[in-house]
Chains A and B, each alone.
Chain A
Amino acid sequence: GENVEQHPSTLSVQEGDSAVIKCTYSDSASNYFPWYKQELGKGPQLIIDIRSNVGEKKDQRIAVTLNKTAKHFSLHITETQPEDSAVYFCAASRHPGGYNKLIFGAGTRLAVHP
């Protein structure tokens, strides 16, 4: 079945540095790739997403890149701040069909140190 691998599992950076999280998916029919941020005890929050017809998308300090040929996509956070500390999940799904069923990666625990 569909599988999404996410690396690294933990990431520690100094405030102001950049952070990069990478994911690889197995289903070549996947065409939607969201990223979620989850703080302790809360539900995941959609922070950015990308569709397969786009190679890169940026929103202020956050950007996502997609390489369809290699079937991997990455989250880039620049100028990290302590409030960026959280668990980040990547996911993949296919549309139409499949009821937008998201396949999640295992998560990356990001710690930003002041």
Chain B
Amino acid sequence: GAVVSQHPSRVICKSGTSVKIECRSLDFQATTMFWYRQFPKQSLMLMATSNEGSKATYEQGVEKDKFLINHASLTLSTLTVTSAHPEDSSFYICSARALTGTYEQYFGPGTRLTVT
């Protein structure tokens, strides 16, 4: 149980284009989903927190117009990187917390974004 998937696992896009990453909770409903960014050999950096049906809460320094988050249902959240630049190349990971007031947060397998 508690499986979170991400799609795609890897994506290469050209500078200036947009790319969408999907995060799905496969066997539970997620009240809250989180998006992280991780650079090589570094820790996870929280970008934003999204709750189903409401606007995402972005961490300080994260551009909300560049990283668009939509939490359309209790099992799906999407992150769209708009007008991507090479410095946006990173490992993007989502996580989800179950509906039932538990504390545990389960992570997806990550998406490797490379902007050329």
B contact residues, total (Cβ < 8 Å): 23
Out of B6, B43, B105, name the residue touching A100 (CB < 8 Å). B105
Residue of A nearest to B110 (CB): A43
A contact residues, total (Cβ < 8 Å): 22
A25 interface hit (Cβ, 8 Å): no
Let me know if B110 and A102 touch, CB within 8 A.
no
Bound CA–CA A93/B95 (angstroms): 14
Proximity bits, B34-59, A CB within 8 Å = 1, else 0: 10000000111010010100000100
Let me know if A49 and B103 touch, CB within 8 A.
yes
Consensus secondary structure, chain B interface: strand
Specify which chain B residues have a CB less than 8 angstroms from the CB of A51 in the assembled complex: 103
- A44-82 with Cβ < 8 A to chain B: 44-46, 49, 51
Smallest beta-carbon distance A98→chain B, Å: 9
Let me know if A46 and B49 touch, CB within 8 A.
no
Smallest beta-carbon distance B19→chain A, Å: 18
Out of A42, A46, A106, name the residue touching B43 (CB < 8 Å). A106
Specify which chain B residues have a CB less than 8 angstroms from the CB of A42 in the assembled complex: 109-110
Whether A101 touches B46, Cβ cut-off 8 Å, given contacts A34-B105, A36-B107, A42-B109, is yes
Specify which chain B residues have a CB less than 8 angstroms from the CB of A93 in the assembled complex: 103
Bound CA–CA A46/B57 (angstroms): 24
Out of A95, A101, A104, name the residue touching B49 (CB < 8 Å). A101
Residue of A nearest to B50 (CB): A99
Binding site for A on B (CB under 8 A): 4, 6, 32, 34, 42-44, 46, 49, 51, 57, 93, 95, 97, 103-110, 112
